Structure 1
Amino acid sequence: MARWQINLIVLWFGQFMVLGGMTMIIPFLPLYIREMGITEEHAVATWAGLIFAGNFVTSFLAQPIWGNLADRYGRKMMLLRSGFGMSAVMVLMGFATHPWQLLLLRMLNGTISGYAPAAVALMSSNTPKEKMGFAMGTLQSGAVAGTIMGPFLGGLLADAIGFRNIFYVTGALLFTASFLSMLLVREKFDKAEQSAKPKISIVQSFKQLSQVPQLPSLYAVTFLIQFSMLCTMPLMPLFVEKLHGPGGNLAFYAGLVSSVTGFSNMIASPLLGRLADRIGHERILMISLIGASAAFIPQALAQKVWQLLAARFLLGIFMGGLLPTVNALIRKHTPGGMESRSYSFNSSALSLGNMSGPVIGGATSSFVPIQGLFAVASGLLLFNSLWVRRTLVRKLPSGAE
């Protein structure tokens, strides 16, 4: 096998484990907090939102620092720093006895994270140009698979081995992935060449990109999509418990509800992408936003777990036309040579939605039930579709496809 192929296999496994480990705690997090002695429902939801978002807050702040160090010292070093560091922190989470300890560890985990961007940078600089698309697509599939399977496996393992043991298992798997990366991954890195490249001001880049009116609109769409999707997550396990009743593989059903959207997303994404090539990415984005908005309504009306699962599966179908289409449109409207910077600002919008959605959803749980949050998410996505129509669809040239 060629060196880049070995790198790809090892880093795919690493991506899967890192993203799976990050999301594995979603289905049982409120139940784990309750096991620590926090029993009041609003307090559980608030802690769950803070703990879930804590990782994204510090990651949002720390990533530019690790990116600069990666350019100076190499991507493999940053990859190993992140992988081994997160494996240790994940094990420590299993020893937490109070939610504030878990919150601090999640924030520490976000601070030292960076495996995924380091893996992408390493593959992009060590893969033949004619194989770049295949390598990037395959590597991304590892991250998507981890994000989808994480909540499902977390719910399954929680019923089988208990909450705390999941952290130990995840830490061991992260350590294994990092150890394999240390042994098998190789990179070609010219420190002098990287240091000679000019530094570009973030503020100046943002001002230049903001002159393209479609880009700020797309960044706002990304934020609202993530906020709408995640504002209900802290309350979802409690809602599943209400529909299903206590016991009886509760964590499994909570994980299935959290991950079922990912399965339908994977099915729908290539189909909607092919359709977007025919009728336009702008129109598919608007249609998907309207569909996702409508899919939140039956979630609010669900009386059984299977009804919630069906509605979440439907939501995932329309999600398949959201972020992938936004990414395609960002590439379409970004000036040549500024693609990476443009996507970095969109990633910031994504992280902001990941941070604020769970926090606000958990904090408002005392006076807004989850059915109300479903309605808010539906309204935001509907507003989003009108925004897309005004800023993107109406700007299409006459007869454009």
Structure 2
Amino acid sequence: MQRWKVNLAVLMIGNFLVMAGMTMIIPFLSLYLQQDLGLTDEHQIGIWAGFIFAANFITAFLFQPIWGKLSDKYGRKMMLLRSGFGMAIVMVLMGFATAPWHLLALRMLNGVISGFTPAAITLVSATTPKDRMGFAMGTLQSGGTAGTILGPFIGGLLADSFGFRPIFYITGALLFLASAISWVMVHESFDRTAAAMKRQVSVFKGFKDLMVIRQLPVLLTITFLIQFAMLSPMPLIPLYVQKLHGTTENLAFYAGFVGSVTGISNMVCAPLLGRLSDRIGPSRILLVSLAGAGIMLIPQAFAESVGQLLAFRFLLGCFLGGLIPTVNSLIRKNTPDGMESRSFGFNSSALSLGNMMGPIVGGALSGFFGIEGLFILSGALLIMTCVWATGALRARQSSKQA
């Protein structure tokens, strides 16, 4: 088996374990605050839960470029292991928290040292033949998506069986396992001596140097807009399911199913669209996927039943499989050798910023437009992003060729 295929297979499994571990705590975070950390006021629980959830993204947004710079200097595998083992320790410590601020501080620390997925993307991109890049990015994405889907489900089951605190220990063990497997089986050809001899520049200078490359500012903006549009209505979807379902019977099941069906179709379609992008070009897949995702968001505002919402969410996931993986392929294609980690670090920051701003802005706008309006606004934003990206990417390409 070729080395790049071994790396891809191992890191896809590692990505699954990391994302499953990271999302296991989602179903019971507010309950953990209430039952184990002593909060009783519902409003206070909501405020703490919101801050604790966002803390990880805030610090990740700030620190990902720094780890990207160090990755170009010391190697991607080292950053992969740093993040994996570090998050394993932090996750176990969360199980010993005795006050909400302990959990907040640890979530912030987790964001500081996080970066397993960006490091995996960089390592795969550096070892994969360029004509197979789309397939590799899609496959890696499918592993993370599968973990994101199954994580809350597994976490809910384990919490019912063992309680809340043991879930943090199990999550830490999964992160440790993913890191150990990567340590043993992933190989990277990285010349540390040559990297050390290169002129080192600051994160800000590195950002300026990369932004001169005409495609990269467009791609980072697209990443932010994708995450912003997709996450804006996300916190309110359970309430929307409750409205469509009409009763409380099996409500949790339907809400969870609506949340996971998009990930299921994403997981299936990402490798297929990645393989297709290797044949016809990632830019075409990206633009079609942007338009398709935007179109599939709008009819969700007019769904009359949970079944209709499920159908539209499933089709949405099919197009989502062609978004972030193709952006990653284009970033690798347009980044000079030796600066890949920085590019993916900045892209990870753009993704974290979208993850953070989307729910905040969506929650603020929901009072004016309702969740139906958020679906329409998010769909319109992705369609406008498609129109803008079509012109921007073509203009950059034409200028590059000239």
| TM-score, structure 2 as length reference | 0.76
Q: Which residue of structure 2 aligns with residue 39 of structure 1? A: 42
Amino acid at match of 1:24: M
Q: Which residue of structure 2 aligns with residue 228 of structure 1? A: 229
Which deviates more, 173-182 or 255-264?
173-182
Q: Go from structure 1 to structure 2 and tell me whether the alpha carbon gap of 1:115 and 1:207 turns closer, same or farther (over 3 Å shift).
A: closer
Give per-residue Cα distances to partners, 1:57-95, cap 9 Å, x unaligned.
Answer: 212223344455556666665544433332233234345
Q: How does 1:220-299 map to 2 (within 5 A)?
A: 220-241=221-242, 243-244=244-245, 245-246=247-248, 248=250, 250=252, 252-273=253-274, 281-299=282-300
| Deviation at residue 202 of structure 1 after TM alignment | 4.0
Note the aligned Cα RMSD (angstroms): 4.2
Residue 296 of structure 1 aligns to a residue in which SS?
Answer: helix
Provide the rounded CA distance (Å) in 2 between the counterparts of 1:291 and 1:3.
35
Q: Is the 8 A contact 1:218 1:326 kept in 2?
A: yes
Q: Which residue of structure 2 aligns with residue 146 of structure 1? A: 147
Q: Is the 8 A contact 1:46 1:363 kept in 2?
A: no
Q: Which residue of structure 2 aligns with residue 310 of structure 1? A: 311
| Deviation at residue 98 of structure 1 after TM alignment | 5.9
| Deviation at residue 316 of structure 1 after TM alignment | 0.7
Q: Is the 8 A contact 2:286 2:327 kept in 1?
A: yes
Q: Is the 8 A contact 1:91 1:168 kept in 2?
A: yes
Provide the rounded CA distance (Å) in 1 between the counterparts of 2:86 and 2:29.
22
| Deviation at residue 204 of structure 1 after TM alignment | 4.2
Is 1:21 aligned to 2:21, yes or no?
yes
Q: Go from structure 1 to structure 2 and tell me whether the alpha carbon gap of 1:340 and 1:113 turns closer, same or farther (over 3 Å shift).
A: closer
Provide the rounded CA distance (Å) in 2 between the counterparts of 1:165 and 1:44.
21
Q: Is the 8 A contact 1:71 1:195 kept in 2?
A: no
Q: Which residue of structure 2 aligns with residue 324 of structure 1? A: 325
Amino acid at match of 1:288: S
| Deviation at residue 327 of structure 1 after TM alignment | 3.3
Q: Is the 8 A contact 1:27 1:258 kept in 2?
A: no
| TM-score, structure 1 as length reference | 0.76
The alignment-based identity, stated in percent, is 61
Provide the rounded CA distance (Å) in 2 between the counterparts of 1:170 and 1:355.
23
Provide the rounded CA distance (Å) in 2 between the counterparts of 1:240 and 1:377.
18
Which deviates more, 317-326 or 341-350?
341-350
Residue 216 of structure 1 aligns to a residue in which SS?
Answer: helix
Amino acid at match of 1:372: G
Amino acid at match of 1:25: I
Amino acid at match of 1:37: T
Q: Is the 8 A contact 2:261 2:314 kept in 1?
A: yes
Q: Which residue of structure 2 aligns with residue 383 of structure 1? A: 384
Amino acid at match of 2:217: P
Amino acid at match of 2:261: V
Amino acid at match of 1:84: F
Q: How many residues align?
A: 393
Q: Is the 8 A contact 1:78 1:115 kept in 2?
A: yes
Give per-residue Cα distances to partners, 1:108-140, cap 9 Å, x unaligned.
Answer: 211222333455666778x79899969877656
Q: Which residue of structure 2 aligns with residue 361 of structure 1? A: 362
Provide the rounded CA distance (Å) in 2 between the counterparts of 1:336 and 1:181.
23
Residue 321 of structure 1 aligns to a residue in which SS?
Answer: coil
| Deviation at residue 225 of structure 1 after TM alignment | 0.5
Q: Go from structure 1 to structure 2 and tell me whether the alpha carbon gap of 1:7 and 1:381 turns closer, same or farther (over 3 Å shift).
A: closer
Q: Go from structure 1 to structure 2 and tell me whether the alpha carbon gap of 1:306 and 1:57 turns closer, same or farther (over 3 Å shift).
A: same
Provide the rounded CA distance (Å) in 2 between the counterparts of 1:277 and 1:189.
26
Q: Go from structure 1 to structure 2 and tell me whether the alpha carbon gap of 1:131 and 1:308 turns closer, same or farther (over 3 Å shift).
A: closer
Residue 375 of structure 1 aligns to a residue in which SS?
Answer: helix
Q: Go from structure 1 to structure 2 and tell me whether the alpha carbon gap of 1:95 and 1:370 turns closer, same or farther (over 3 Å shift).
A: farther
| Deviation at residue 224 of structure 1 after TM alignment | 0.5
| Deviation at residue 25 of structure 1 after TM alignment | 3.3
| Deviation at residue 20 of structure 1 after TM alignment | 1.7
Q: Is the 8 A contact 2:65 2:349 kept in 1?
A: no
Q: Which residue of structure 2 aligns with residue 175 of structure 1? A: 176
Residue 42 of structure 2 aligns to a residue in which SS?
Answer: coil
Provide the rounded CA distance (Å) in 2 between the counterparts of 1:150 and 1:296.
24
Residue 388 of structure 2 aligns to a residue in which SS?
Answer: helix
Provide the rounded CA distance (Å) in 1 between the counterparts of 2:227 and 2:8.
28
Q: Which residue of structure 1 aligns with residue 220 of structure 2? A: 219
Give per-residue Cα distances to partners, 1:235-269, cap 9 Å, x unaligned.
Answer: 3344445555547471x544433332122123333
Provide the rounded CA distance (Å) in 1 between the counterparts of 2:8 and 2:271.
22
Q: Go from structure 1 to structure 2 and tell me whether the alpha carbon gap of 1:253 and 1:153 turns closer, same or farther (over 3 Å shift).
A: farther
Q: Which residue of structure 2 aligns with residue 62 of structure 1? A: 63
Amino acid at match of 2:290: L
Q: Which residue of structure 1 aligns with residue 90 of structure 2? A: 89
| Deviation at residue 353 of structure 1 after TM alignment | 1.0
Provide the rounded CA distance (Å) in 1 between the counterparts of 2:91 and 2:16.
15
Provide the rounded CA distance (Å) in 2 between the counterparts of 1:79 and 1:248.
40
